[in-house]
Structure 1
Amino acid sequence: MTRIAIVGVAGRMGRTLVNAVQQDDGATLAGGIVEPGSSLVGADIGELAGVGKLGVTAVDSLEAIADDIEVLIDFTTPQVTLANLAFCAEHGKRIVIGTTGLNDEELAELDAFRDRVPMVFAANMSVGVNLTLKLLETAAKALGDEGYDIEVIEAHHRHKVDAPSGTALKMGEVVAESLGRSLKEHGVFERVGQCGPRDPKEIGFATVRAGDIVGEHTVMFATEGERIEITHKASSRMTFAKGAVRAARWVADQGIGRFSMQDVLGLD
């Protein structure tokens, strides 16, 4: 049984992760972390998640549960994640990171731990999304340089703080790399006013933030006479949570290195 701790256990994703661990026969919940000084310190994690008492109480520091856990799952914020990554390196723990919105400097800091920590880092833990990435690679190689315009459209709930989503950016990166392009050079994230005709090598992005949309992503390959759309729609956060728990069980048996969900699923 892989002993898992969840950071941000009282949040929407944290509560879903508790449920996912409980449903997984190969994992057990060994700890949950809330913000320092939170009134929820000492609360039963199972009751916070609505699954009943589990006998595991929330703490506000990783040090309090360092001896009890094998793998940390972190879907928080870049700075919190980097601090937790350093903790894992110091204490010989493994980590699964689903945090998005990291800038170039933060990504470089994260990557610097690849020789110190066994970690899985992915913009999206969904098995379906990662299969979609593989499909996009195939489609881009077949279509992208044959007069097909490429657009990425994503939609999420009103509370999401970063845009475009990490998943949308990853989809754009996969397409760009498959075509030998740079997303930094050819990605277009805003079109306002008289922006002129579309450059054939553009990879455009459009963002929707509304209601309680869990996550929808479409990559469109459009040319004169036809349009191909590859779409993934998530109807529950559980799809991300189950993927994260699967990654935690997988990385528990891995040596030091930075891995992706493609590695977890055997797609790379």
Structure 2
Amino acid sequence: MDYFPEGVVDPATIADCSDVSYNYGNYRDYFDGVLEYEDGRFHIYLNTHGAFEPSIPRMRFTFAHELGHYFIDEHRNALKKGKSLHTSFYKLQRKNIVELEADFFASCLLMPEVRFKELATSKKFDFSLVELLKNSFQTSISATLFRMIELDTYPFMVVVSEANRIKYHWRTEDFPYKYFVEHGTGKLPVLTAAGDFFNHGEEYADTEEVEVSGWFNSYKDDYRGITLYEKCIYQTSLGRVISILWQ
């Protein structure tokens, strides 16, 4: 269901209409958000620690995530029975199935499939399209990219690097490259824009054109002379680079 067919989804309005109370407060680093059930009512606590405002994408996603715990029957019923759900923290990759389900709910809620795919396929893929989607749905870069991968809107890959190593990576099913140059070691390939950051402190403001063979290996295909685009998002305070790769 698309709760806001003409505009940006507002989790607070959905909570109000569902008789779920909520408040924002500074809870230090105990959690980003948590849904509790007490005295027959549900309440969402949202953490503003770090000067987060209710309107920023990360806070909106946390709110939608907690609504997921409410609307997913198994989660809501568990709370009613006195069981405690996993407290929620913002993470690029989770393993807890309860948190994964709430993340997926939040993604679907904030970025409704029909509207998202219509806009995502309205122009040729480049980073400006990611920014257009991010701004249109008021979601973070990472949440927007994950939704694009879920819906397989265009062949591309996302690589998250920390400490000169590949921490995570995701790809659409039709992205043609799979095995990294340092496959099996976890090392970030040197001849890449992300590699330039960790090895030389270089940050590129624009999208770079790089050799496919700088990123990927193949035992049967010759990648010499084939290029792809790499756009780096630098999260220097976290020592992290997010690379978006496409052709």
| TM-score with structure 2 setting the length | 0.34
Structure with the larger RCO, 1 or 2 (CA within 8 Å, 6+ apart): 1
